[in-house]
Amino acid sequence: MPRNVSVNSGSVRFVQTISVGPHAFQADEPRVYGGNDAGPDSHELLLAALGACASITVQMYADRKQWPVEGVHVHLSYVKVLAEGQSDAKTGMVDGIEMGISFSGDLSEDQQSRLLEVAGRCPVHRMLTSQLQIHTNLLMPSSHFP
């Protein structure tokens, strides 16, 4: 069952303390945007979540199939891409993510292709490509998530 995530600002400009169960880490903005670069920025955290989910999903699948996956490397970057059906780069650009994956281990081309498909269906990938709705509510200062 997913744990709630808590994000709190502190006394240092833009530095956010993120808590997930017993884990705590920081997010910040790069110095070029006025932050202290005390942690990854929000976009980088999103890319990291997608990469981690894709890698773990591939590893779980390979374990079930008893395939010899020795390692998974995922490289992600944020890009602007031309929207489907658009021909004008000036008005038709949308947010995108480029994700490259490589595997180490004695895998056939068919196994690597299948693992690539599996990575594209990890839970975070499905969430990001779905009709995700975010409902934002005002909480009282000492409130917690339900």
41-134 fold: GMP Synthetase; Chain A, domain 3 (3.30.300)
How does pLDDT run across 86-137, given as a tens digit for each residue?
Answer: 777 677 788 899 999 999 999 999 999 999 999 999 999 999 999 999 999 9
- What are 120's two structure tokens? 């594209």
Q: Are 101 and 62 within 8 A, CB to CB?
A: no
pLDDT over threshold 70, residue 74: yes
- pLDDT recorded at residue 85: 74
Phi, psi dihedrals of residue 71, rounded to the nearest 5°: -170, 155
Domain definitions of the chain by residue range: 1-39, 41-134
- Start-to-end Cα distance in the chain: 14
**Residue 12: pLDDT over 70:** yes
Whether 145 shows a pLDDT value over 60: the answer reads no
Please tell me the pTM assigned to this model.
0.88
Per-residue model confidence (pLDDT) at position 115:
98
Q: Is 132 exposed, middle or buried (0-12, 13-18, 19+ CB in 10 A)?
A: exposed
